[in-house]
Chain A
């Protein structure tokens, strides 16, 4: 069974530039999550989708971050414009159901903002 796929693995940009990350969850997983992990900290949930609907985006900085999951499968997370404090690993995860089972994580996309 293929795992959660993410790209790119690494990205370096200047502040005020834009960046997009892509995630393809495990086939059949209805719930998709984007987490931000700053170095030395635990992951923080940015947004959670159930199929193509947003369940929770309370911690997403909506002035600069956006995410979509148009067909209920893969998802894109965009940052525009990026700030220095956005330097982090962006982890995508999926789970079979909304309220059951563990989350399966991708390898993450490491963003460095200069």
Chain B
């Protein structure tokens, strides 16, 4: 079974608008962490934001926020005030801290295109 599911192969957004990238996960481990990474066309993986399974509040980092709904097992990334430089592939990932030696498992990714 897929551990991380990203159902949007591609998303388009107008510059300065907000966009939500969807991510659902599947785990029976009560202790886990959720990550979002950005991969521009140059190929490097850039860490954006982290949410721990026991964190009470949704994580925020500048223009990035993570909408964490534990009961629904979803961890959507919200990018506010989109910029042209946000155009990239975005990956949701999970570390299961009790069962999988902390390995990071990635989803299939969502390509975000920001239009001027």
Contact = CB atoms under 8 A, between A and B. Distances in A.
Interface residues of B, number: 23
A100 B73 CA distance: 20
Interface of B: 4, 35, 37, 42-45, 47, 50, 91, 93, 95, 97, 100-109
A102 B37 CA distance: 10
Given A41-B109, A99-B97, A105 B104 contact: no
Contacts, number: 58
Given A42-B109, A48-B103, A105-B45, 18 more contacts: A42-B4, A42-B91, A42-B108, A43-B45, A45-B104, A48-B101, A55-B101, A56-B100, A56-B101, A56-B103, A91-B45, A98-B101, A98-B102, A100-B102, A103-B35, A103-B47, A103-B104, A108-B43
Contacts of B4: 42
Interface residues of A, number: 27
A69 to B, nearest CB: 15
